A and B are shown apart, each in its own frame.
Chain A
Amino acid sequence: MSSASIKIQVQTEDFDHAIEYQNLTENQQSAGAVVTFTGLVRDMNLDNQVTGLYLEHYPVMTEKSLMDIAQQANQRWQLGKITIIHRVGSLALGDQIVFVGVTSKHRKSAFESCEFLIDFLKTSAPFWKKETSKDKDYWIEARSEDSTAAKKWG
């Protein structure tokens, strides 16, 4: 098994999609495909005066679980590069929250592995969202659709 070049970052700062795309495609002459996914903060409608989100995480385990997910993806698809960036702390509606990018020889493995990475991130990486509004904050409940999505990978 060839080992992919893996980059994992958990940070409060925003990320630049163009720079991450450039980093992914740099020195990747054998890569025929790059697929990226960017997740945004959306209004979960738990309160009509939503101001944004607060993202809590479990330091150390967060990085460890993201690395584990990336290595699993590389075992299944043999990827060139994998980048996972997840933001934590206070975020506003519309802010970028997560970036997943992969390079691979072919499009199918690039599409599939990118979907695999975000599906597993959503069900196994220790992040918790709290929706913040003017008067009260609400913890977001885990969605059964997310665990169904992760289970389809077997």
Chain B
Amino acid sequence: MKVVFFGQLKEILGVSQLENVGPFENVALLRAELQKTDENWQQSLSSERCLVAVNHVLSDDSCELTGDEEVAFFPPVTGG
């Protein structure tokens, strides 16, 4: 699957997208694996400060994944 990052999170992690990630059974497992990268990823991807979308729809940790999805992590939105 493809994982993409936006906003301040993208800058903090220093990457905008990762290709061929996983597969993972759900968002929680994907998030946990990404958080193992280092302390920076651990903290930045912690659930309260980071939203998730699966295939362009706001989602959460319980969302099941098959491996073909585009999963996005980003900070709370600030448009309008």
Given A58-B53, A60-B56, A64-B56, are A122 and B79 neighbors across the interface (CB < 8 Å)?
A: yes
Interchain CB contact under 8 A, A128 and B56: no
Given contacts A39-B80, A56-B7, A126-B74, 8 further A-B contacts (CB under 8 A): A58-B6, A58-B72, A124-B77, A125-B79, A125-B80, A127-B77, A127-B79, A129-B79
Choose one: B7, B53, B58; the contact of A128 (CB below 8 Å).
B7
The residues of A that contact B7 with a CB separation of less than 8 Å are 56, 128, 139
Number of A-B contacts (CB under 8 A): 76
Nearest CB in chain B: distance from A9 CB, A: 14
Q: How far is the CA of A143 from the CA of B79 in the complex (A)?
A: 11
Interchain CB contact under 8 A, B74 and A58: yes
Q: How far is the CA of A57 from the CA of B10 in the complex (A)?
A: 12
**Nearest opposing residue in chain A for B4, CB measure:** A58
Chain A residues touching B, majority SS: mixed
User: Counting CB contacts under 8 A, is B42 at the interface?
Assistant: no
The residues of B that contact A141 with a CB separation of less than 8 Å are 76, 78
Interchain CB contact under 8 A, A128 and B80: no
User: Counting CB contacts under 8 A, is A46 at the interface?
Assistant: no
Interchain CB contact under 8 A, B77 and A61: no
The count of residues in chain B whose C-beta lies closer than 8 Å to any C-beta of chain A is 17
**Nearest opposing residue in chain B for A117, CB measure:** B80
The residues of A that contact B75 with a CB separation of less than 8 Å are 128, 139, 142
- A33-80: which residues lie under 8 A (CB-CB) from chain B? 39, 55-58, 60-61, 64-65
Choose one: B57, B74, B79; the contact of A86 (CB below 8 Å).
B79
Given A126-B74, A128-B6, A128-B74, are A55 and B79 neighbors across the interface (CB < 8 Å)?
A: yes
The residues of B that contact A55 with a CB separation of less than 8 Å are 79
Q: How far is the CA of A97 from the CA of B80 in the complex (A)?
A: 7
Q: How far is the CA of A5 from the CA of B74 in the complex (A)?
A: 31
